[in-house]
Amino acid sequence: MDEETVSRDHVGSLGRGLAVMEILARHPAGMTLTEMAEEAGLTRAGARRFLLTLVATGYATQSGRVFSLSPRLLTVARTWLGGASLWSFAAPIMRAVAAQLNEACSAAILSGEDVVYVARIPGRRIL
C-alpha cells in the first residue's frame, strides 16, 4: 500500500487505543491516569476515555487509581497462537525450572484481585 492509502485507511483512535494497551503491558503493576497520559502523549481526558473503554470491555481492570491489563487479553493471544494453550508454552519452561531448583513450579494469572493458578509442575522433594 502506498502512504496515502495507509493514511486514509488508518483509524487513529484504534491506533492510540492499541498504543495504550501496549504501554499498560510494559507496566505489569499498573499505571495511574496521569502516568498514562504522560507516557502516551495524551490529555488526561483522552487517556481516561481510553482506559475506561478498556475497563468496560474487560481488557483492563481498575483498582483505585491504578489501571492494569486483564487476563482477557489471553483470549486474543490464544487465537493468534492458533488455539495453542498457555500450558503448551509454559510447560517446558516450568519443567526446567522445577528440575533445576528441585521445587514445585506454578503458573498463575491475575483476574481482578484474584490469583488463578493455571498450571503446576510438582517438585521432587517431599516436605
Beta carbons of 87 and 117 less than 8 angstroms apart: no
Which CATH number is 35's domain given? 1.10.10.10
pTM: 0.62
102 domain-assigned: yes
Structural domain for 116, as ranges:
75-121
Predicted pLDDT of residue 127: 56
Predicted pLDDT of residue 95: 92
Helix, strand, or coil (residue 43): coil
Kindly state whether residues 82 and 96 are assigned to the same domain: yes
Q: Can you tell me the distance from the alpha carbon of 70 to that of 79, in angstroms, rounded to the nearest whole number?
A: 16
pLDDT per residue as tens digits for the range 65-90: 999 999 888 777 766 555 556 677 78
Kindly state whether residues 52 and 83 are assigned to the same domain: no
Kindly state whether residues 64 and 8 are assigned to the same domain: yes
Instruction: Work out the pLDDT band at 108, boundaries 50, 70, 90.
Output: confident
Kindly state whether residues 36 and 79 are assigned to the same domain: no
Predicted pLDDT of residue 118: 76
